[in-house]
Amino acid sequence: MKPWRHYAVLCVFLSFGVALSVRVLYLGVTEHDFLQQAGDKRSVHKAIIPGMRGMIYDRNGEPLAVSTPVFAVSTNPMLAKFRESELRQIAGAIGKTKQAIKNSIEKAKARGRGHVYLQRRLSWGKSNALEELDISHLKLEPEYQRYYPAGEIAAHIVGITDIDDIGIEGLESNFQASLRGHSGAKTVLRDRKKNSIRDLDYLSSPKYGEDLNLTIDLRLQFIAYRELKSAVNSHQAASGSLIMLDAKTGEVLSMVNQPSFNPNSDDRLPNRMRNRAVVDAYEPGSTIKPFTALAALESGLYTPETMIDTSPGYLWIGKKLVEDPIDRKRLSLGQSIQKSSQVAFAKLALELEREAVFDVLVRAGLGNYVGVELPGEVYGKLSSAQLQSKVGRATLAYGYGLSVSPIQLAQAYLTLASHGLKLPVSIIKSTVQRSTERVFTEQATKDVLAMMEMVTAREGTAANAAVAGYRVAGKTGTARMIGANGYDDERHIAWFAGVAPVSDPKIVMVIVINEAKSGRSGGGKVAAPVFARVAERSLRLLGVSPDKTGVELAHAAAKNAAAPVGVGGRG
C-alpha cells in the first residue's frame, strides 16, 4: 500500500471525527434545551401518588371502613397493538375474556381516546402476575379500594363508595369532603418498557383523608342486626328497622335495617340499600299515647290515677267510630296506657285544649328534622290542620293522621328517658358539649315512664318486652297501612318503643316491623320480643347493673317465660 493512501484514509477518519465532535458540541450548546426536553419526554414521567381515604371507626376503635391498595390496568388504544397471545395472557391475569378486552380497546380507539381502563381494583397478586408478563403499552396505576369489615351489619350507616372511591351512600357520601384524600405527584425516570428506575423529584405530597369516629358500638350493632333479621324472617315481614340511643347523651348506639346489603359486593339492589330508619316514615299508632298522657298531666286536670269511663267500649265522633276490643269500663290514665284503650285517649283528646296534644308532639321533636347527619332524612308529617275537627284531634291522640320516621320516634322517647330534656341525636363522636333544652317537666315525664312500665307487666300489651332483672317502660303500636282504597285491615306496621332501665335510663330503643305475614301483626307480639332480646344482652354488655339480683332474677325470668300475652287494645 502506497504511503499517501494511508495518510489519505487517516485524514478522512480524522476529518469525520472532528466534524462529529463539532456537531455534538454545536448541538450541546445551541440545541441543549430542545434535546433535553425530547429526552425527558421519553424517559421522565409524572406519576400520581393516590391519597388514601380516611377510615371510619366505631366508638371503641373497631374499623368499619378501610382502604386497601389495588391497581388499575390501562392502555393507550392509539399505540397498543397487542398480539392474540398477549390478549389471552392479559385476559387470564385480570379475569376477563379476550374478546371483552379487545372490544374495550377498539371502542376507545374509535372514539379517539388515548386512555382506556381494562380493569379496575386489581389485587396485588394479580397485578404482580400481570407485570411479569412484560407486555408493552400496558400500564398499572396504583389506587385504593374501600373494604367494610362489618359487612351487612353496618352497611346502611357507613354506606359505600363508587369505582372512583367517591362516597355515594351513607356517611361515606355525607362526609365525602373530609374523608376523601388528595393525590400527590412525583417525577420518575423510566426505561423503554415504562418500568420506574428511580424517583427524581416529589412535586407534591399526598394528603390523607380525615378519619371518622362514630357513636355506634359494633357489639350492640351485631346483636341488633341478628335479632331484627331473625324477627323479620320468622314473621315473614317485608322490612324492619331498629334504633338504639344512649339515654344520657343521645348518641346512636346501633341502627339496623332489614333487608340489608353487602357493601363489599357489586350485587346491590336499591330496595336493600334504603336506610329505612331514617328515610321512611309511617303512622306511629299507639306509640303516641304516652305523649297524649303527658299533655293530660300538663293540663293539671289529670293524674295517673284519674279515672276515665270507656263504657260501652266504643265512641261515636260524628260519623267516626272509635272502639276497643272489649268494654273495659272505667280505667285510670295509667291503665289506659297499659291496655292501650282507643276510647280513653279519644275522650282525653276532646276534653283537653285543642292544641294540647299537638304542642307536646312538637316539643318532643316530631314533624321536624332530627339532624342525625345521615343522607335522605325524612321530615315526617305533623300538621295542625287536623285540629280543626274533633275526629282529627281524637285520631292524633292515638297515633293516626301523622307520620314519623323511626329516628324521630326514638328522639321523642329520648325526651321521656332524659326526664324532659331534649338532647341532640348524634352518630358522630364528638368531645364538644352540645346544647340541651328542657321541653317537659321532670315529674311529668317520670309519671309517664311509670305508667309505661305497666305496659310491660303481665297484664299489659307488651309483657313480651320485659327483661329479667331490669325495669322496662315501653309502648306498643299497631298501625294499619294505607292501600289503594284507604286503610288496609290485612297489612300492619308493628311498633315498640321502650326505655330501660326505668330506675336510671340507659338506652332508648325503637323497633318497627312492616307487614308481618305469619299470622301475628301486633306490636306486642312482633316488635316487643325483639326489644327484650336486644335490651337484655345490650344492658349487660354496657355494664348496667340489674334492678334485681340473685333469686329475684331467676324468679322474674321464670315468671316472664310462663306469662301469657295480655289482651291488648289497638296497640
Give catalytic residue positions.
286
Residues 322 and 439 sit within 8 Å (Cβ to Cβ): no
Q: Considering all CA atoms of the chain, what is the largest pairwise distance in Å, rounded to the nearest integer?
A: 144
Cell of 273: 340499600
| Rounded Cα gap, residues 6 and 223, in angstroms | 99
Element spanning 509, H or E: strand 507-514
Handedness of CA 113, 114, 118, 119 (dihedral sign): negative
| Rounded Cα gap, residues 107 and 99, in angstroms | 12
Handedness of CA 285, 286, 287, 292 (dihedral sign): positive
CA dihedral 243, 245, 247, 250 (to 10 degrees): -130
Cell of 521: 301483626
Residues 498 and 474 sit within 8 Å (Cβ to Cβ): yes
CB atoms within 10 A of CB 149: 14
- Considering only CA atoms, which of 511, 497, 424, 505 is closest in space to residue 215? 424
Contacts of 307 (CB under 8 A, 6+ apart): 330, 331, 332
178 burial via Cβ count (<10 Å: 0-12, 13-18, 19+): exposed
Handedness of CA 23, 24, 25, 29 (dihedral sign): positive
Cell of 518: 305469619
- Considering only CA atoms, which of 560, 514, 515, 517 is closest in space to residue 535? 560
Task: Tell me the three state secondary structure of residue 287.
Answer: helix
Residues 235 and 526 sit within 8 Å (Cβ to Cβ): yes
Residues 57 and 158 sit within 8 Å (Cβ to Cβ): no
| Rounded Cα gap, residues 333 and 179, in angstroms | 51
Cell of 103: 372490544
Q: What does 132-171 look like in DSSP terms, one character per residue?
A: HT--TTEEEEEEEEEE-TTGGGGHHHH--B-TTS-B-SHH
Task: Tell me the three state secondary structure of residue 66.
Answer: strand
| Rounded Cα gap, residues 386 and 373, in angstroms | 31
- Considering only CA atoms, which of 332, 380, 382 is closest in space to residue 357? 382
Per 3-state DSSP, the chain is made up of helix, strand and coil in percentages (nearest 5) of 40, 25, 35
